[in-house]
Amino acid sequence: MSKPVQPSMTTAYFAQCVISFGVALGSVTLGVIYLPIDAWIRAFLAIAVLYTVTSAFVLAKCIRDRHEVANMASRIDQARLDKLLSEHDPYKADSL
């Protein structure tokens, strides 16, 4: 049985993702703060941005969990198939 290649995330890639997220969130936050609008509209936009960010995290987690479940199911199926193949003897005569 061949072991599937596990994708690895480098430290540089992780840092780039975190920095990119921080810059994007900071830019939107500064944009909302310095908009020439009333405070209640600014508060509404801030809540909308916060909701968008949290729902993006939840969506990413759901996609990751679905992928892990599918990957686990395929590994279980592969293990069952490997067991059947290892126990199969093509030269054994079936008794009727």
- What's the number of domains the chain is made of? 1
- If pLDDT is split at 50, 70 and 90, which confidence band does 2 have? low
Task: Tell me whether residue 43 is in a domain.
Answer: yes
Domain assignment of residue 74, yes or no: yes
In contact, 32 and 42? CB cutoff 8 Å:
yes
**What is the tens place of the pLDDT at every residue in 37-96?**
999 999 999 999 999 999 999 999 988 888 888 787 777 877 888 888 888 777 777 665
Whether residue 73 lies inside any domain: the answer is yes
Domain extent at residue 57:
11-87
Give the separation between CA 81 and CA 88, rounded to whole angstroms. Answer: 11
| Amino acid of residue 92 | K
CB distance 78 to 1 below 8 Å = yes
Return the percent helix, strand and coil in the chain, to nearest 5.
75, 0, 25
How far is it, in rounded angstroms, from Cα 10 to Cα 66? 23
Task: With respect to residue 47, please indicate whether it lies within any of the assigned structural domains.
Answer: yes
**pTM for this structure?**
0.59
The pLDDT of residue 84 is 81
Residue 3 in domain:
no
Rg of the chain in Å (alpha carbons): 26
Rounded CA-CA distance 26/14 in Å is: 18
